[in-house]
Structures are given as C-alpha cells and as structure tokens.
Amino acid sequence: MRVVANLLEGSWGRRIVLTVFLPLFVLFIILPFVMIVLQAFGADWFGMQLLPRVWTLRWFWWAVQTVDIGRVLVNTAIIALLATFFSLALSIPAAWAIARRRLPIQPILMGAILFPRMIPEITFALGVARLFYALDLTNTYVGIALAHVILAAPFAVLVLASTFEGIDERLLEAGIVLGCEPVQLFSRVILPLALPGVIAAALFSFLTSYNDFVLTLMVYGPNTVTLPVQTYLSIGNGYTSVASAISIILLVPSLAFLAGLQRMVRPENLLGGLKGA
C-alpha cells in the first residue's frame, strides 16, 4: 500500500490519475445519462449505430399528448413539497433533541431513524401499503407524501443534527439574557444560524420524494401518478423513447437543485456554509 501511495504522490502518479482514472470514472458515471439523452432526442436508432439518424422532439410531444405529463408534473411537485414540509416538521425537533440533549437512548433513537435507509425499500413498502390501505391514505397527496417522509427524514435529521450541534451555546444564552422567548429564540437566533443546514435538509427531502419510485408504486392511484411511476408505466407499455423523454424531465430539477445546493452550501461545513459568509 505504501508503494502505491508513493506512486500516486509523484508527478507520474498524479498525471495517470488526472489523464486516465479520473476521465474513466467520469465516463462511467455519465454514460448512462448520455444514452438516455440520445434516446430521448433521437429516432431511427437501431443495432450498433453510434448515434441516432434523426434528431427530434417527437418523444417529448408524445409524453405531453399520451400521458398528460403536465398533470404528472403537478402531482410530483405537490407530493414533494408536502413531503418536504412534513419531513422538516418532524426532523427539526428530533435533530435538536439529538444534538443538544444527551439522551440515554440516543444510539437506539438514531438507529431507529436510520433504519429505513439501511434496508431494501421494498421490505417495508409492503407494510406501508397495507397500513395506508387500512387508513384510506392511498391515492392521496398526503398519503404518498407521508410515505416519502420515511425515506426523507433520516437525511434531514442527520444534516440538521450536525448543524444544531455546531451552534455556539453562548449565542443561545445571549438570546435568553436579552429576553427572547422560546419562539423568538428559535426564529431570531437558531434559525438564522442553522439556515444553510435547513436548506440542505429541505433540498434532500424534496429530491428524495421527487425521485422515489418503490414506495410511490405501492400507494399511488390513478389521480396521483408521479414522474418515476409514469416512467415505469411507459417502459411497461413499450414506449422506451417516451420513457427516456420523461426521464430527462425528471432529471432537470435534480440537477438544478444540486447546482443550487453547491452554490449556497458548503458540504464540509453546513453551519455557516453560505458562500461568502
């Protein structure tokens, strides 16, 4: 291992990493997305052809005409916004308790919160579907959003707990000395300090809900079809090019949120992580 480390630290090692391994890694990551883009904008693409013979927006038009993509987009956005709201409403007090209160059951509590992210989604999706059918929450915006909170909340709690833990206790004491009530302390002291972490948690929650497929498939209905589910249905009907066009539509908000997150929040330091702060 030391020989490998010494090799990589040398000029030749850095050159190999930059000119060979890094491009191969980037290519490995983006190649599937390149194929989706080619299939979404191309036609008459068969066999071993390197590129499509015809470039077209036909498949996007088909997506609009055949699957009512506008309605599907509205469904997806409403559910994701509700899931984000519910996730933050649950995660902020939970993260504060974990970060600022030394609870004797804290390891157990963290394990329970993270448990849905440690197991295959399908293993608890069946239980969620059974419970939601009993409560008549299927085919509703609120029901699907609550299902997504199971996946979104662990991310939010992790981000917010690390953010709250970094807040200087002296600032909270100063707020109390100056006469802040609990609500004022949260809104005027804690929230401004934790805002980058809250934004990051909100973005993670939104994207988790926006991109979820398995849980949505178990509890959706004809009035609550989302983009991931519609992509699956289009593939099942043999419309792979239309599915690729829907995938592009699904991908754009994720890239936009990722770009915004990188501009606003430094991943290595969520507390006070606004660039330029």
pLDDT digits (tens, 9 = 90+) for 32-45: 888 888 888 887 77
Q: What is the pLDDT of residue 6?
A: 54
Domain with residue 142: its CATH number is 1.10.3720.10
By the 10 Å C-beta count (0-12 exposed, 13-18 middle, 19+ buried), 233 is classed as middle
Give 47 or 222, the one with higher predicted confidence. 222
Shared domain for 106 and 156, answered yes or no, is yes
- Written as six digits, the tokens of 261 are 């997150």
Query: Mind listing the pLDDT tens digit for each residue in 247-273?
Result: 888 787 777 777 776 666 555 544 444
Whether residue 135 is found in the same domain as residue 192: yes
The span from the CA of 125 to the CA of 56, in Å, is: 38
Mean pLDDT, residues 69-81:
91
Span 200-211, pLDDT tens digits? 899 889 989 999
Is 90 part of any domain? yes
Asked if residue 108 is part of any domain, the answer here is yes
Q: Residue 18 has what pLDDT?
A: 67
pTM here is 0.79
For the segment 241-246, the average pLDDT, to the nearest whole number, is 84
**What is the per-residue pLDDT for 272?**
44
The pLDDT value recorded for residue 267 is 53
Region 214-240: mean pLDDT is 87
Assigned token pair, 245: 């066009």
What is the tens place of the pLDDT at every residue in 114-166?
888 888 888 888 889 999 999 999 999 999 999 999 999 998 999 999 888 88
Is the CA virtual torsion 142, 143, 146, 147 positive or negative? negative
15 and 98 in a single domain? The answer is no
* pLDDT at site 173: 80
Provide the pLDDT for residue 277.
Answer: 42
Residue 270 lies in a domain: no
Question: Do both 43 and 95 map to the same domain?
Answer: no
Asked whether the predicted pLDDT for residue 14 surpasses 70, the reply is: no
Q: What is the mean pLDDT of the chain?
A: 81
Give me the helix-helix angle, 141-165 and 106-118, nearest 10°: 130
Q: Structurally, how many domains does the chain consist of?
A: 2
HSE of 15, CA atoms in CB hemisphere, 13 A: 3
Cα gap 114→85, rounded to integer Å: 19
Domain extent, residue 165, equals 74-264
Q: Say how many C-beta atoms besides its own lie within 10 A of residue 138's C-beta.
A: 18
Q: What is the pLDDT of residues 227-238, one digit of tens each?
A: 899 888 888 777
List of residues 6+ apart from 268 with CB closer than 8 A? none
The yes-or-no verdict on residue 276 having pLDDT over 60 is no
Note whether 52 and 78 are same-domain residues: no
Split at pLDDT 50, 70, 90, the class of 64 is confident
Task: Classify residue 275: in a domain, yes or no.
Answer: no
Instruction: Tell me what pLDDT residue 74 has.
Output: 92
